[in-house]
Amino acid sequence: MQALILAGGKGTRLRPLTVYTPKPVVSVMNRPFLVYQLEILARAGITDVTLSLSYQPDKIEDVIGDGSEYGVKVNFVTEPSPMGTAGAYKFAANAEGGTTVVLNGDILTDVDINHVIECHRGRKADATLVLARVDDPSRYGLVETDADGNILKFLEKPKPGDLSETSVNTINAGIYILEPSVLGLIPEGENHSFEYNVFPAILEKGLKFNACILETEYWRDIGNPESYLQAHLDFLDGKIKGFDLPASGASEIATAASVDDRSLLAEGCVVKPNAKVINSVLGPGVHVEEKAVVENSVIWGHSRVGSHVEMDGAVLGRGCYIGKNAAVRPGTVLGDKASIPDYSKV
């Protein structure tokens, strides 16, 4: 069994964090995001993993290396120009390799991939789509299935007024098991999408198209800043199980400062007297000056939070500077090297 991770998108929704760091390797709990995907594959005994790249491929290769640190063997395939999700699969997949597990490179999940493969094989499917249930279907394209788990149709985002007419609340979770028969539906060398082109073609051709619905597993697309921050808060809350999270590194925390037990601090952080760090994740070398309060936030490496700053629900990129007495309010997302003057409210 081989796996393909689609990791070539530009990650526009996660800007400004993805301007210098491609989405697949943004830091989540102080680890490159893709590591969580490599771990669920390794846990399922899938060690032959191809990363399909297009945007800033060198940065991803540098961070992930050959994969041996995570128990897999990683092979990189870089497209000459972005080929879309299905075009990337066609470009990278080896038809001789048989069944392929395809993952969108921006979903955080603890799903047991072997369970999905069993569901696929048990139903002798050409393609299996993992579906996740959502509370608010109006934000997503929905996937309708029958009682036997066959995929019937794809529905556009329902308008709020139409919601009472649909009981469907399952969406494409970005995890696919595909047989080589699907490759035949994708033209060579063209930009092609699973969602818009291939999945409708599978239904049209009458191939066996199976759904596997997540019921108890954790699932989240980390592709926008709100969801990216929420993934951290869920980790800190203990809602995501089974991953080897790093322990806090050696930091200089003043006796009169307070850092709660939930927070995660990488190596070399400095927290000055009377500063507070609550329910937050700090990357390496972050400085929090006197009497600053950092709560429910994620701060990438080597950023500095000035004295008396009040920060809640924010995400800061690498090397940011927040001037003294500034208020950094929920929803703030700053790109690398942003500098906020003293007393600002952002």
Q: Which residues bind ligand GTP (CB under 6 A)?
A: 6-14, 23, 52-54, 79, 82-85, 88, 104-106, 223
Of 6 and 168, nearer to ligand GTP (C-beta) is: 6
The smaller minimum CB distance to ligand GTP, of residues 104 and 210, is found at: 104
Given CA atoms 216, 217, 218, 220 in this order, what sign does their dihedral have? negative
Report, in Å, the least distance between residue 196 CB and ligand GTP: 11
Q: CA-based angle 326:312:343, to the nearest 5?
A: 5
User: Least separation, in Å, of the C-beta of 6 and ligand GTP?
Assistant: 4
CA–CA separation, 69 and 78 (whole Å): 22
Q: Closest-CB residue for ligand GTP? A: 9
d(CA 241, CA 115): 17
| Residue 15: CB minimum distance to ligand GTP, A | 8
245 within 8 A of 204, measured Cβ to Cβ: no
Asked whether 76 and 63 are in contact (CB, 8 A), the reply is no
Name the strands in the sheet holding 100-104, side by side, starting at the edge strand that comes first in the sequence. Answer: 73-78, 48-53, 2-6, 100-104, 170-178, 127-133, 209-213
Shortest separation between residue 177's beta carbon and ligand GTP, angstroms: 16
Question: What would the two tokens of residue 14 be?
Answer: 């996660």
The CB-of-68 to ligand GTP minimum distance in angstroms stands at 23
Tell me whether residue 105 or residue 335 sits nearer to ligand GTP (CB atom): 105
Could you tell me the smallest distance in angstroms from the CB atom of residue 104 to ligand GTP?
Answer: 4
The 10 Å Cβ neighbour count of residue 179 is 18
Phi and psi torsions of 250, nearest 5° = -70, 120
Nearest partner of 271 among 10, 46, 260, 102, judged by Cα: 260
The smaller minimum CB distance to ligand GTP, of residues 8 and 306, is found at 8
Nearer to ligand GTP, 11 or 285 (CB): 11
Which of 186, 152, 183, 178 shows the shortest CA–CA distance to 166?
A: 152
Length, in residues, of the chain: 346
Least distance (Å) from ligand GTP to the CB of residue 80?
A: 11
